[in-house]
Amino acid sequence: MRIDIVTIFPTFFDALDLSLLGKAKQSGLIELDVHDLRDSTHDRHRTVDDTPYGGGAGMVMKPEPWGEALDGILGDDTEEEPLVIFPSPAGEVFTQAMARELAAEPHLVFGCGRYEGIDHRVFDHTASRARVRLVSLGDYVLNGGEVAVMAMIEAIGRLVPGVVGNPESLVEESHEDGLLEYPSYTKPAEWRGLPVPPVLLSGNHGAIATWRRQQQIERTREVRPDLLPADEPDA
């Protein structure tokens, strides 16, 4: 998978060199390029924003640097049909299902807005030559798209085949089957007076699977009842 990121804070994404995604980059499973939007400016101050037409608080990102930065990225990829994602609190909400869908894309381009957002013509123009999606991390406002893109890339990247060594570990996680994950324990069997649930030490795989399923349903009912399907049997 190829990933391009356009941002005014390229060092934000240095953290992607760490851990599993760092290894995926090194091995070539994920090819990641971070582009500084200011490299596509041509004035002495490398200006990327200006006051909004119509008035109002804050600044809006100018279209010209975005056009030039995206020209450079999209121009050389006609075969792979890139998908351009603009993180925005006004977008569709990012979910595990969307992460799975995006993990199958050959080329993702993320455009990180700041300030009051990007001049809307950038979305319209980009949509005339590539698929475009506005995606929100959730119903709250961040200072810019960078944190949202980091979260999305982590969620998407780990679903790219080969990135996580044991694919089974992807299946038994919160949201993969629509429920929250069951609680996990490791040694010692008792810690600070707290025992591990005895069923987990029983060696009875059927009983363990039943207990885990019950835990998933109970947890989901307590914390996220909105996720429970109407026909979910009682735990």
- Residues near ligand ADE (CB under 6 A) are 87-89, 136-138, 140-142, 144-145, 148
Minimum Å gap between C-beta 30 and ligand ADE is 21
Is there a binding annotation on residue 193? Answer: no
Closest among 1, 13, 2 to 146, alpha carbons compared? 13
Is there a binding annotation on residue 139? Answer: yes
Is there a binding annotation on residue 144? Answer: no
CB 20 within 8 A of CB 54: no
Minimum Å gap between C-beta 70 and ligand ADE is 18
The DSSP-derived string for 22-41 is: HHHHHHTSSEEEEEEGGGG-
Q: Which one, 133 or 212, has the nearer CB to ligand ADE? A: 133
Q: Which one, 10 or 91, has the nearer CB to ligand ADE? A: 91
Q: Which one, 89 or 178, has the nearer CB to ligand ADE? A: 89
CB 28 within 8 A of CB 88: no
Is there a binding annotation on residue 4? Answer: no
User: Strand ranges (DSSP E) for the chain?
Assistant: 2-7, 31-36, 49-50, 60-61, 83-93, 107-111, 131-136, 190-191, 194-195
Residues placed in the known binding site for S-adenosyl-L-methionine: 113, 137-142
